Amino acid sequence: MVRPRKFDKATVLQRATRVFWQHGFAASSTDLLLKEMGIGRQTLYNTFGDKRQLYLAVLQAYQEQSLSGHLKRLNTPESPLQGIRQLLRGLAATDDCTRALGCFGVGSVGEFGTSDPELMAQREVIRTVLERRIEARVHEGQELGELDASLNAQETAAFIQTAMAGLQLSARAGANLQTMHAIADFTADRLKAT
């Protein structure tokens, strides 16, 4: 009886993430995934299900990790304005190759839009958590006199998330670190109290 080859599941999932992140779902063939993951077809099906289930799993893990980073940057500074600035600036990966990939989550929106209810539900959970926390920081900033008191916190949070998507698309289009930081600063500065 042939024993299945052992593999490190975390490493294999990381490799699958990179393939989907770089190529998208449709262009990531099963053969490409198997080659990059270093596993056989049967192992893929036995361990992860089909290509779609693998995609959903790696996208979920990516989004949770990204959300954790976003919240850390947003919440760490005492100043709400600085937290928002750090949230936006932190989208610009310092590594050129990683930055050029943009955001896997934004790429998934570009590829699927609203056509996949399961992906939409997955995205909505992440979006709502971040939106609520941004709203709270906006309120804090208004109370401290840092942020414009006339801003609607919900609209401001939606604006910031739209700016985040724009920054991540800019990265995919080749924006450098300095350009992304300048855009992030410009966005944060629009929220200041006058």
What amino acid occupies position 94? T
If you compute the radius of gyration of the chain from its CA atoms, what whole number of angstroms results?
19
pTM exceeds 0.95, yes or no? no
Q: Which amino acid is at 170?
A: S
HSE toward the beta carbon, residue 121, CA cutoff 13 A: 4
What is the chain's pLDDT, residue by residue, as a tens digit (194 residues)?
445 557 788 899 999 999 999 999 999 999 999 999 999 999 999 999 999 999 999 999 999 999 999 999 999 999 999 999 999 999 999 999 999 999 999 999 999 999 999 999 999 999 999 999 999 999 999 999 999 999 999 999 999 999 999 999 999 999 999 999 999 999 999 999 98
Q: Is residue 147 classed as helix, strand or coil in its secondary structure?
A: strand
| Residue 192, helix vs strand vs coil | strand
Q: Indicate the SS3 state at residue 140.
A: helix
Delimit the domains of the chain by residue range.
60-189
Tell which CATH architecture fits domain 60-189.
Answer: Orthogonal Bundle (1.10)
CB 125 within 8 Å of CB 172: no
